[in-house]
Amino acid sequence: MPFLQLSGLTKRFGDVVAVEDFSLAVEKGEFVSLLGPSGCGKTTTLQMIAGFEQPTSGHIMLNGRHLEEVPARNRGLGIVFQTYALFPHMTVEENVAFGLEMRGIDKKERARKVAGALELVQLAHLAKRYPRAMSGGQRQRVALARALVIEPELLLLDEPLSNLDAKLREEMQLELRRIQQEAGVTTLLVTHDQNEAMALSDRVAVMHHGRLMQQETPFHVYENPKSSFISTFLGKTNSLTATLKTTNDEGSALVCNGMELAGPPAHLRPGPITVSLRPERIEIVEAGEAVVSGPVIERIFLGDQWLFRIETPIGPLLVVRRNRGQREPEHGETVHLAWTPHHLRLLPKEDEAA
């Protein structure tokens, strides 16, 4: 029996289906991210686990007990809200102590635990401050300390880093991971930021239109996306429309824009498909080894990388190259591209409607 088990969770708001038949298992101590675009039902899922929304149908089991009938205040979960929801009229210390107070823990024990929690998030020196006088990152840590101090069975985080600026967000990612591991708490994070999901979690559960699309390690999801939606949502990719001609155990034959390409073995029927090719898997080669060739139409320098867009017979291709301090192709220069066939991912063609 997994530690947290969501089975067939569905939530409708009138005609709107926010979450549909959502099932997910989370093991004790695991860090799982719910990843999906805005409006796909992540928050609703979290709210149902937290007890702020009643599921239309389905079950939530935590550590062997059914949660559906338990009121939110008795679920004992640690929640970090997107807005942090700190109590503005209480000091940091009082904010963190609130949950302990509600549990009737005596003053001395409370002070000890609050100090411990603030130590964990490295805010011990700001215990007497009011939230108003703190930076976004600091408020975030207070919210985390307040959620963790009650020693929750499960920590729920709703887009916890989305209100921070880019640099701080990266720092907080590392920090969040450290704190989670130190506290050893089972964690479910909701985010629309694929970098965040991949950097933080043991497992990523990709959601789309209220449904679970795929749940695996970040590496797995990135390498073997189950659909072209996932391949474009996680990282950058070149999505090409192609036709699958034949496939066997050795490999497959494709036609893309009239050009014949070799691909890996596919578990698909011959016919129209989507091909995903990651930009970092494309190499610039000598003319003789080229699969396709074409001029550079866009050239962007990103510091550690170069980003090229190259006009080829199979369509414009995005190419990423590590910056090694060498000369790179200029705008308009014709380059020759190649890749090994097993880097292609053959995916079922997505319905326009889906």
Partner 1 sequence: MTRRSRSRPWILSAPALLLFLVLLLVPLAMTFILSFHSFSFYGGITPTFSLENYIEVLSDGYFYEIFGRTFAIALATTLICAAIGLPQAYFLSRMHPFWRSVMLLVVLGPLLISVVVRTLGWAILLGNKGVINDALRDLGLITSPIRMMYTSGGIVLALVHVMVPFMILAIWAALQRTDPATESAAESLGARPWTIFRRIVLPQAMPGILSGSLIVFSLSASAFATPAILGGRRVKVVSTTVYDEFLNTLNWPLGAAIAMLLLVSVLAIMVGWNRLVERRFAGVFE
Question: Contact positions toward ligand ADP, by CB under 6 A?
Answer: 13, 16, 18, 36, 38-44
Q: How far is the CB of 133 from partner 1 (least distance, A)?
A: 7
| 183 contributes a contact to partner 1 by CB under 8 A | no
Q: Which is nearer to ligand ADP, 18 or 172 (CB)?
A: 18
From the list partner 1, Mg ion, ligand ADP, none, partner contacted by residue 44 (C-beta under 5 to 8 A by kind): ligand ADP
Which phi and psi (to 5°) does residue 266 adopt? Answer: -125, 145
The piece of 42-50, 70-78, 114-122, 210-218 that touches Mg ion (CB under 5 A) is 42-50
Smallest separation (angstroms) from ligand ADP to the CB of 262: 39
Distance CA 212, CA 141 (A): 30
Q: From CA 55, how far away is CA 59, in angstroms rounded?
A: 8
Interface with Mg ion, residue 43, by CB under 5 A: yes
Pair 260, 253: CB distance under 8 Å: yes
* Binding to partner 1, residues 41-100 (CB under 8 A): 50-52, 72-79, 81-83, 85-89, 98-99
Question: 249 to 278, contacts with partner 1 by CB under 8 A?
Answer: none
Q: How would you class 38 by CB atoms within 10 Å of its CB: exposed for 0-12, middle for 13-18, buried for 19 or more?
A: exposed
Q: Which amino acid is at 68?
A: E
Q: Which of 110, 24, 115, 17 is nearest to 62 (CA)?
A: 24
Structure tokens at 141: 């840590």
Of 46 and 127, which has the nearer Cβ to Mg ion? 46
Rounded to a whole number of angstroms, the minimum distance from the CB of residue 156 to partner 1 is 9
Give the tokens for residue 325: 């301090």
End-to-end Cα spacing for the chain: 33
Which residues contribute to the site for partner 1 (CB under 8 A)?
A: 50-52, 72-79, 81-83, 85-89, 98-99, 102-103, 130, 132-133, 146, 150
Which residues contribute to the site for Mg ion (CB under 5 A)?
A: 43
